[in-house]
Chain A
Amino acid sequence: MGTATRADAVPAWHQRRVRIYDREAPLGYFLLLPTLVVLGIFLLYPFLFGIWLSITDSELGNVGKFIGLGNYRFEFRNTDGVFYGAVINTFLYTGVTTVFKLSLGLVMALLLNQIFPFRRFVRAALLLPYIIPTVLSYEAWRWMFDPTFSVINWLLVNTHLVHYPGPNWLGVPANAMAALMIVNVWRGTPFYAISFLAGMQVIPVDLYEAARVDGASRRQQFINITLPLLRPVLLVVLLLSTILTFADFQGPFVLTNGAPYNSTQLLSIWAYQWGIPGGAIGLGAAISLVLFPLLTIVVAVVLFMLRRPE
């Protein structure tokens, strides 16, 4: 009896321990458990609660009853243009800022990847927009865009680039949207740059040396070595940034709060206006979830591209 012989030879406590380590799957799940609990409490529960709120007529302080897709129908059938304007603005805001953040982040990372004096200091300084408390930095930008006290306009006027008093940054629809985008790009670019820099620093140097020996130009090195090897980082950063920009609230809220006349209204602010000051938390939740199916597709595409072989 082989089994009996083995059991006799190995002490019981040792036998159990080996069995746990031998079965990787249960151990893996066991080790994942704390993370899953944290994610469940802080991500899954609020998300599911948000979905549930969006299909009820809940108001602040009052649990509502199930109304199916009533909140979604209300917004999609509303013809005042604010909701559809907010959808368009949200896409525009996310699309334009993402393109700028991506390009500027890449350029900054390439520059910072070079060897130059005080490079560590410069790299650290790059994170300043990220370190300053969000609302404080947006208040500073508000002051810079203020038509009465604008330091930007003062510079533009005194360098004779524009006539006095200069552009009304936050008072004209197109300018206000541009101002929101500028601030978002200012704040978001360091995240791209630092992530790209981290990605670039793990690319083996001998690849570039070999390319140089073969006579490859800087441009060829960038296109054939840097970009392909940076792809995983690039896609993850792009994914995260797109999601965060879609849901951006603080900056637009502090800078314009949707003004002038809802021309800078974004879905996040519109959801807030209905849900918090308006008390219709169910409708607010529905507005904030409107783009969820679309974002799911974006995430799926990016994840598919990440898994795809070179």
Chain B
Amino acid sequence: MPRAKKRAKSGWSRRKFLQTAGVAVATMAFPEILISCGPQSNSTPTATIPKPRKGASIRLLQWTSFVKPADAEFKRQAAEWGDANGVTVAIETVTGDQLQPKTAAAVEASSGPDIIQMQYGWPQLYTDSCLDVSNEVNILIGKLGKPDPVNEAFCKVNGTWRAIPYTVVPNAWTYRTDYFQQAGVSSFPTTWDELTAAAAKLKTTSKPISQTDGHAYGDSLTMWNPVLWGFGGKEVNADGKTVAINSKETRDAIKWAQGAVQAGFVVHPEWLDPDNNQAYHANRISGTLNGASIYIREKIEFHKYTDVTNNAPMPSGPKGTFAMNLIFNHAVMKWSPDAETAKAMLLALMEKDQYQKWTMIAAGYNAGPFESLHNDPVFASDPKLKAFQDVVAPGKWPGWPAMPSKKTAQAQTQYIVADMFAKALANGGTGDIEAAISAAETSLKAIFERP
């Protein structure tokens, strides 16, 4: 049928044109309709855009980024919004390990900053102190598309959004191409077994591939959870109750780790989060797993190994490719006297053009938590940053496949998975596997079976 073919080719029919035009007119007249038709619209049928109050004061507490200009841009944008709306905005930044004690103190005192950056599963820990922001998240969904599943898992507690998705800090491997070539390794390994082989070759250069297996609140978790998942292991079943660490899959993961260490992969139980960065910049190691900060600082600050540095996504295990990234979201706290103003500010900072100005200055350290922010121009600006874009999709959260909860957060903060690997990797990768698994199982049961 020629007419039908023609219509199919153009993709338009009279009926479709009328439908589209009708929706467009209605949307212009009532913008809430568009918002309420977003992917999460079933939870809030209509959305109300929060209005800032002139004369209000807003305090926001978050961590200090490893990329300093990103903090400066965030503060500039917040101040600009404050000036335009007659709101005094104060952004307070503290180091990552200070953020939770400060948050906990504010929660216990029911007083403090109006907005607090929530890392990992804090909305699950401090649910009652975080206001319901479902309305605001649905507005963002209407504008920016589906949220990243990991941000959603952390922000949504029992079906209610308790934080507004803010960013993903992707974790990928940063490595020295010169040492890899010297050792005869042409590219970064794509499987964990290849990583073992590469580590063995790099041993000859005395610049090993290294990572922490200590109590580093970022790097330890982002390394050992994906290894566990890649071999099919898990801490707990999807029900969030049944501890499942004692399995053949966990043994396989640990055996791989022991093999890697015996081959030449070097683990450091004493390293905290900044230590692998320092070791890389000091030319002591040939590769490590980290946020993009190592590469970015080489590129914009140190200029020593920029040309011989590249980045690679997570290797795959027999059960697939997994990653764990740092996930940050913003919660509006229940004690805020100007919660509407706080929500309005967060919405303004998440506007696509504003947000991408910030991610561009963050130089690839941050990725957007909504669908339309995924193809951020910053990742196209430098091909070496692509690895950091690639690790966002396979990202999971501690405790996966169980949904984030207070209990998964407790297991995470007690470093149970990292400690299990660290015990088995002691003495050059010859630790007692069964003792390590048994200790992890007992600790997990204590948490998940606690009433």
Q: Interface on A for B, CB 8 Å cutoff?
A: 59-62, 74, 78-82, 145-149, 168-171, 176, 256-262, 273-274, 276-281
Do B129 and A260 touch (CB < 8 A)? no
Whether the Cβ atoms of B129 and A61 lie closer than 8 Å is: yes
CB of B410 closer than 8 Å to a CB of A? yes
CB pair B108 A60 closer than 8 Å: yes
B414 to nearest A CB, angstroms?
A: 6
Output the least CB separation between B150 and chain A (Å). 19
A149–B125 touching, CB < 8 Å: no
Contact of B270 with A by CB under 8 A:
yes
- Would you call B409 and A74 a contact (CB within 8 A)? no
Q: Do A258 and B107 touch (CB < 8 A)? A: no
Nearest-neighbor residue (CB-CB) of B101 within chain A: A276
CB contacts (< 8 Å) of B129 on chain A: these are 61
Closest to B431 in A: A261
Given contacts A148-B282, A280-B410, contact A256 B101 (CB under 8 A): no
Given A148-B278, A148-B284, A261-B422, CB of A279 within 8 Å of CB of B409: yes
Inter-subunit contact A260/B270 (CB<8 Å): yes
Report B-chain residues with C-beta under 8 Å of the C-beta of A149.
278, 282
Specify which chain A residues have a CB less than 8 angstroms from the CB of B414 in the assembled complex: 82, 273, 278
Q: How far is the CA of A74 from the CA of B214 in the complex (A)?
A: 26
Q: Check A279–B126 contact: CB distance below 8 A.
A: yes
Given contacts A60-B126, A276-B101, contact A146 B275 (CB under 8 A): yes
Contacts of B100 in A (CB 8 A): 276-277
| Interface segment, one of B86-94, B370-378, B442-450 | B442-450
Name 6 interchain pairs, CB-CB below 8 A, sorted by A: A60-B107, A148-B282, A258-B415, A274-B410, A277-B100, A278-B410
- CB pair B126 A61 closer than 8 Å: yes
Contact call B104/A276, Cβ cutoff below 8 A: yes
Which residue of chain A has its CB nearest to the CB of B424? Answer: A261
Fill in one digit per residue for B420-451: 1 if any A CB lies within 8 Å of its CB, else 0: 00110010000000000001001100100010
Is B48 close to A, CB under 8 A? no
Bound state CA distance, A171 and B215, in angstroms?
A: 11
CB distance from A287 to the nearest CB of B (A): 13
Q: What's the minimum C-beta distance from A197 to chain B, rounded to whole angstroms? A: 36
**Top-8 shortest CB links A-B:** A260-B269, A170-B270, A277-B413, A171-B270, A80-B442, A259-B214, A279-B125, A259-B215
B406 touches A (CB below 8 Å): yes
Q: Name which residue of chain A comes closest to B423, CB basis.
A: A261
Cα distance A170–B213 in the bound complex, in angstroms: 12
Contact yes or no, B270 A278, CB < 8 A = no
Complexed CA–CA distance, A148 and B126 (Å): 38
Most A CB atoms within 10 A — which of B100, B279, B284, B413?
B413
CB distance from B213 to the nearest CB of A (A): 8
- For residue B128, CB closer than 8 A to chain A, the reply is yes
B219 to chain A, nearest CB (A): 12
Residues B439 and A81 in contact, CB atoms below 8 Å apart: yes
- A61, A79, A278: the one contacting B128 at CB < 8 Å is A61
Assess whether B143 is interfacial by the CB under 8 Å rule: no
> For the complex, what is the distance from the CA of A65 to the CA of B269, rounded to whole Å?
39
- Interface residue B419 (Cβ < 8 Å from any Cβ of A): yes
Q: Interface readout for B104-146 with A: 1 if CB under 8 Å, 0 if not?
A: 1001101000000000000001101100000000000000000
Q: A82-B414, A259-B422, A261-B426 are in contact. List 4 more A-B contacts (CB 8 A).
A: A59-B125, A81-B442, A147-B268, A261-B422
Interface residues on B, range: 35 or more
Residues of A within 8 A of B275 (CB): 146, 148
What residues of A have a CB within 8 angstroms of the CB of B183 in the complex? none
Q: Give A143's nearest chain B residue, CB to CB.
A: B278
How far is the CB of A213 from the nearest CB of chain B, in Å? 58
Chain B contacts for A146, CB-based, 8 A: 270, 275
A80 and B215 in contact (CB under 8 A), knowing A148-B284, A276-B101, A279-B410? no
| B442 adjacent to A79 (CB under 8 Å) | yes
Complex: A73 Cα to B107 Cα, angstroms: 27
Residues in B with CB closer than 8 Å to A259 are: 214-215, 269-270, 415, 422
> A262 touches which one: B270, B282, B284, B419 (CB < 8 A)?
B419
Inter-chain CA distance A273–B409, complex, in Å, is 11
Give the chain A neighbours of B268 by CB distance below 8 A: 147, 171
Contacts of A79 in B (CB 8 A): 442
Known: A61-B107, A81-B439, A149-B282. A257 touches B413 (CB 8 A): no
Within 8 A of A (CB), among B263-282: 268-270, 272, 275, 278-279, 282
Which A residues touch B410, using CB under 8 A?
A: 274, 278-280
Report the nearest A residue to B440, measured CB to CB.
Answer: A80
CB distance from B231 to the nearest CB of A (A): 20
Q: Select one of A59, A74, A82, A256 contacting B270, CB under 8 A.
A: A256
Structural contact, A61 and B442, CB atoms closer than 8 A: no
Chain B min CB distance to A302 (Å): 33
Measured CB to CB, the closest approach of chain B to A168, in angstroms, equals: 7
Bound-complex Cα distance A5 to B450 (A)? 78
Residue of B nearest to A135 (CB): B98
| Interface residue from B214, B406, B439 paired with A80 (Cβ < 8 Å) | B439
By a CB distance below 8 angstroms, the chain A residues around B278 are 148-149
Residues in A with CB closer than 8 Å to B284 are 148
* Given A60-B125, A60-B126, A273-B414, A261:B269 Cβ within 8 A: yes
The answer to whether A168 and B125 touch across the interface, beta carbons within 8 angstroms, is no
In the complex, how many angstroms separate the beta carbon of B91 from the nearest chain A beta carbon?
Answer: 23
Q: Closest chain B residue to A58 by CB distance?
A: B108
Q: Contact: B215 with A258, CB < 8 Å?
A: yes
Please, how many angstroms separate the alpha-carbon atoms of A261 and B418 in the complex?
Answer: 8
In the complex, which residues of chain B have a beta carbon less than 8 angstroms from the beta carbon of A274?
Answer: 410
- Measured CA separation A162–B423 after assembly (Å): 26
Q: Which one, B110, B272, B413, B419, contacts A61 given CB within 8 A?
A: B110
A276 and B414 alpha carbons, distance in the complex (Å): 11
Counting chain A CB atoms within 10 Å of each CB, which of B100, B107, B423 scores highest? B107
Tell me if A279 and B270 are in contact (CB < 8 A): no
Interface centre among A81, A82, A169 (most CB of B within 10 A): A82
Kindly provide the distance from the CB of B421 to the nearest chain A CB, expressed in whole angstroms.
Answer: 9
